[in-house]
Structure 1
Amino acid sequence: MQFKSPLVPATLVARYKRFLFDAVLADGQAITGSCPNTGSMFGLTTPGARVWLSEHDSPTRKYRHCLELVEADDTIIGVNTGLPNRLADEAIDAGLIRDLADYGERLREQRYGRNSRIDILLQDQARGKAYVEVKNVHMSRTSGLAEFPDSVTARGAKHLEELGDMVESGHRAIMLYMIQRPDVSRFRLCRDLDPIYAAAFDRAVARGVEAIAVRCDITPEFIRPDAVVPIEEPGARPCTGSEAANRNGK
């Protein structure tokens, strides 16, 4: 995914009320912008951090600037939770998750379960249906290890239960974690911050839900799905069928 226009570098002053941040642009102008991330953004809100912002001229927007990237741990990290579905599409199209590219039809935001919408619904006359739920990941507390979630997510636990329901109804279900940071090589659940979500994950994989984690390469010019990384969770099963591969086919 290429950013439509060059991102604007700035220095973070504060992120607050979940949806807002203050920053200082390179020319010294102080601005307030929108933060497209309702999570805790653990480790990514340090005052003085280098950030990159997108600019928007729409008259319907209250704030011109939107927070896209944060530099932390000497790494550029994506924080926009509106991007993972698009990145998941790109990962499938690029062949990183070859098994999911074999379906004849790909639909988005389809109603299912208990008043929910599935991020991606794959359909094929021969293979049936595959329900793909996508989550954004950007937290790392240990070098090389990505973790999810960064705060309690009752909604995320509900989605895992619904994915399990789809498996028991005779369909495939996949939990896809899109990691918006390039400095990790493995993924694990953050069980201490949200044990309820972790328990829901355990139940889901026991019911047959598959799981996969994809790491992204990130620069101020683009965010690109780069490689599948292992999930360090007992019982977690990867997508079946053709093996997942990184961009170089390794």
Structure 2
Amino acid sequence: MRFETPLVPARLRRRYKRFLADVVFDPGPEPGPETDSDARGAAGAEAGTETTVHCPNPGAMLGLATPGARVWLSPAANPARKLRWTWELTEPADGIGRGLVGINTGHPNRLAAEAIGAGRIPELAGYAALRREVKYGRNSRIDLLLEDEGRPACYVEVKNVHLLRGAALAEFPDCVTTRGAKHLEELGDMVEAGHRAVMLYVVQRSDCDRFAIAGDLDPGYARALDRALGRGVEALCVACEITPEEIAVVRPLPLAL
């Protein structure tokens, strides 16, 4: 997944009200080609000025919202949008982890779809059709629905993972998610109806070598996953490589469940 326009660096002042953050534009270095400076000027990113940006992440963002952290922003396609910038990436500033971390929870579905189409997730390869946001269950939408003649449909729920608390271990969730537990129950229902169901965790960072559930942060979700696995739901985890130009799924991560 390539960013449509060059990302612009800034420094985080504070994150608040879940979806808002104040940043100060960084004078450099620039993340990409020479045209980045034009993108800055066109979007009003004056070095040293402060602005409020959209934070596309409802979670706790533990370790990723430290004041002073370097962040990367994308300009809005619509210049009339109230918040003209979206927070996309961050560099951990708490001493845990390295490299860039993707914090936009709107990207994993696209990342997963691209990876499946490119054959980078062998367990989900070989289906003739992939559809997104298909209605199912109890007033829900499945993130990805894989279909092929002569085999059961595969319902894929995708979750964004960005939590790292140490020892190169990616974890989910970073706060209580009753909605996530509901999705696991509905995946189990799909298995019992004769379909295939997969819980896919997309780790938007490259500094982890395994994945686990943060049961101390959300015991209810941990129990819901145990029930879902017992009903036949599958769990997979993949990690990404991230640059200011592109995010891509590149490798599987073993699950320590």
Give the TM-score normalised by structure 1: 0.91
Mapped to 1, the partners of 2:79 and 2:70 lie a distance apart of 27
Shift of 1:124: 1.1
Mapped to 1, the partners of 2:80 and 2:233 lie a distance apart of 40
Shift of 1:57: 4.4
Shift of 1:231: 0.5
Which stretch shifts more, 69-78 or 14-23? 69-78
Shift of 1:56: 1.2
Higher relative strand content? 1
Alignment match, 1:25: 25
Alignment match, 2:183: 159
Mapped to 2, the partners of 1:30 and 1:74 lie a distance apart of 26
Shift of 1:97: 1.4
Deviations 1:93-131 (A, max 9, x none): 222212322111111101111110000011111112010
Mapped to 2, the partners of 1:54 and 1:110 lie a distance apart of 28
Give 3-state SS (helix, strand or coil) of 1:159's partner.
Answer: helix
Establish whether residue 63 from structure 1 lines up as the match of residue 79 from structure 2.
no
Shift of 1:71: 0.1
Establish whether residue 210 from structure 1 lines up as the match of residue 228 from structure 2.
no
Which stretch shifts more, 219-228 or 96-105? 96-105
Establish whether residue 105 from structure 1 lines up as the match of residue 105 from structure 2.
no
Gaps of 5+ in 1: 234-250
Letter in 1 for 2:86: C
Shift of 1:143: 2.4
Alignment match, 1:34: 54
Gaps of 5+ in 2: 27-46
Aligned residue pairs total 233
4+ residue stretches of structure 1 with deviation over 6 A? none
Establish whether residue 86 from structure 1 lines up as the match of residue 110 from structure 2.
yes
Alignment match, 2:31: none
Letter in 1 for 2:90: V
Give 3-state SS (helix, strand or coil) of 1:37's partner.
Answer: coil
Shift of 1:74: 2.8
Shift of 1:219: 0.9
Residues 70 and 91 in structure 2, CA contact (< 8 A), matched pair in contact too: yes
What percent identity do the matched residue pairs reach? 60
Give 3-state SS (helix, strand or coil) of 2:78's partner.
Answer: coil
Residue from 143, 153, 156 that aligns with 1:119: 143
Deviations 1:125-176 (A, max 9, x none): 1112010000000001022100000000000000000000000001000000
Establish whether residue 16 from structure 1 lines up as the match of residue 40 from structure 2.
no
Mapped to 2, the partners of 1:232 and 1:75 lie a distance apart of 23
Give 3-state SS (helix, strand or coil) of 2:66's partner.
Answer: coil
Mapped to 2, the partners of 1:128 and 1:38 lie a distance apart of 33
Mapped to 2, the partners of 1:62 and 1:19 lie a distance apart of 13
Alignment match, 2:166: 142
Mapped to 2, the partners of 1:182 and 1:92 lie a distance apart of 19
Residue from 200, 222, 242 that aligns with 1:176: 200
Residues 90 and 102 in structure 2, CA contact (< 8 A), matched pair in contact too: yes
